[in-house]
């Protein structure tokens, strides 16, 4: 599948989301209020639509037609958007994708309810497809919710193990990536590919989360830099820096002993982190995760369709700044 074909598919998904969230004069004011808040997050060119691309590439590999894949991709994007709305409320985030978050503009109540509405919309989109696709999507949302709570309970834990971080990352991010492959296989009628595509997606999701951890310390625009330090969120770079730099570890423990970290203290900790070995170690870990994900494809990785998928996988490190 050419990159042009992938871009066209993503455009179709974008249009379908826009249609679902469009104002409806015949609907209630409450529905239109939830749709307006959802449009603020969901529409525009800020999102990468990685999940849509993953659905298409794995679905094409399994022989699925684009109409069925479009519904799966739309559902995946809506589930992801719902999780972002809920995360921003929990994190009290003011920015998302370079603009005000929904909770900052509409308030926490509307943000939470808009997230719930998006989840119901995501399941509705799947009605024409095999029941397993919807039931597995429901299970994934439950897994994402458990992981989100585990992440919240890990706040301020400078001693969090990397194994525990990985379990949380797989639940919050990898589970939905895995479902993208699993659902694409089922829509294609290739149930035997559901498990390997799920395993691939889960590993890929962990790599994606590593890239996101790196963006937090490297990205200067479009995101609240050093947000993980301010939110007392133990990312991999933070955990690795604490393990290899005692000065950073001591200062981190002091900063995270309270309920809040000031912007100035987060900036100072961020500079110490950047001067440590942790960023390079995280980049290396990201590379290993992406290569391990590719290995899970087995002989399929030699097929022509896999080239674009591999390019997508390896773009994570570049988008995170891993080419530095």
Summarised one tens digit per residue, pLDDT across range 109-168 is 999 999 999 999 999 999 999 899 999 999 999 999 999 999 999 999 999 999 999 999
For the chain, the domain total comes to 1
Q: What CATH number is associated with residue 250?
A: 1.10.600.10
Residue 24 φ/ψ, nearest 5 degrees:
-130, 105
Both tokens of 239, joined, read 């955990």
Q: How far apart (Å, rounded) are the C-alpha atoms in residues 322 and 315?
A: 9
Lowest mean pLDDT among 26-30, 199-203, 221-225, 293-297: 221-225
| pLDDT confidence tier of residue 46, bands split at 50, 70 and 90 | low
pLDDT of residue 322: 46
Q: What is the mean pLDDT of residues 309-318?
A: 73
> Taking the model in full, what pTM does it have?
0.92
Q: Give tens-digit pLDDT for 191-243.
A: 999 999 999 999 999 999 999 999 999 875 545 689 899 989 999 999 999 99
pLDDT at residue 313 greater than cutoff 60: yes
Nearest residue to 223 (alpha-carbon basis) of 232, 235, 213, 233 = 213
- Chain segment 242-275, per-residue pLDDT in tens: 999 999 999 999 999 987 899 999 999 999 999 9
Q: Give the range among 3-7, 210-214, 283-287, 290-294 with minimum mean pLDDT.
A: 3-7
Rounded to 5°, the CA angle 262-264-267 comes to 110
13 or 92, greater pLDDT: 13
Does pLDDT of 310 surpass 60? Answer: yes
Share of the chain above pLDDT 90, in %: 73
Contact 107, 40 (CB under 8 A): no
**pLDDT: is 99 or 45 the higher one?**
99
Burial label, 131 (beta-carbon count in 10 A; 0-12, 13-18, 19+):
exposed
Percent above pLDDT 70 for the chain:
94
Domain around 103: 3-320
As given in the structure block, the two tokens for residue 197 are 């595509």
């Amino acid at each position: 599948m050419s990159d042009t074909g992938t871009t066209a598919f993503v455009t179709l998904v974008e249009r379908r989301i826009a249609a679902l969230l469009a104002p409806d004069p015949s609907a209630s004011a409450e529905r239109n209020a939830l749709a307006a808040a959802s449009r603020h997050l969901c529409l525009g060119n800020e999102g990468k639509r990685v999940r849509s691309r993953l659905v298409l590439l794995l679905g094409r590999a399994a022989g699925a037609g684009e109409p069925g894949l479009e519904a799966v991709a739309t559902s995946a994007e809506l589930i992801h958007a719902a999780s972002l709305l809920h995360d921003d409320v929990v994190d009290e985030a003011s920015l998302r994708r370079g603009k005000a978050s929904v909770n900052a503009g509409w308030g926490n109540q509307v943000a939470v309810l808009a997230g719930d509405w998006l989840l119901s919309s995501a399941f509705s989109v799947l009605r024409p497809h095999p029941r397993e696709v919807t039931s597995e999507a429901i299970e994934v949302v439950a897994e994402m919710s458990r992981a989100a709570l585990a992440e919240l309970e890990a706040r301020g834990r400078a001693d969090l193990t990397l194994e525990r971080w990985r379990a949380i990352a797989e639940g919050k991010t990898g589970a939905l990536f895995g479902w993208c492959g699993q659902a694409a296989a089922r829509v294609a009628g290739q149930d035997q590919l559901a498990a390997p595509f799920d395993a691939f997606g889960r590993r890929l999701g962990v790599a994606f989360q590593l890239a996101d951890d790196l963006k937090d310390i490297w990205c200067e625009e479009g995101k609240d830099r050093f947000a993980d330090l301010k939110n007392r969120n133990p990312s991999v770079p933070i955990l690795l820096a604490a393990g290899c730099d005692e000065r950073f570890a001591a200062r981190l423990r002091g900063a995270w002993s309270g309920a809040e970290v000031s912007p100035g203290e987060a900036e100072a900790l961020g500079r110490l982190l950047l001067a440590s070995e942790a960023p390079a170690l995280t980049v290396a870990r990201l590379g290993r995760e992406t290569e391990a994900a590719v290995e899970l494809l087995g002989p399929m990785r030699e097929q022509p369709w896999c080239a674009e998928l591999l390019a997508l996988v390896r773009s994570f490190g570049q988008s995170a700044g891993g080419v530095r």
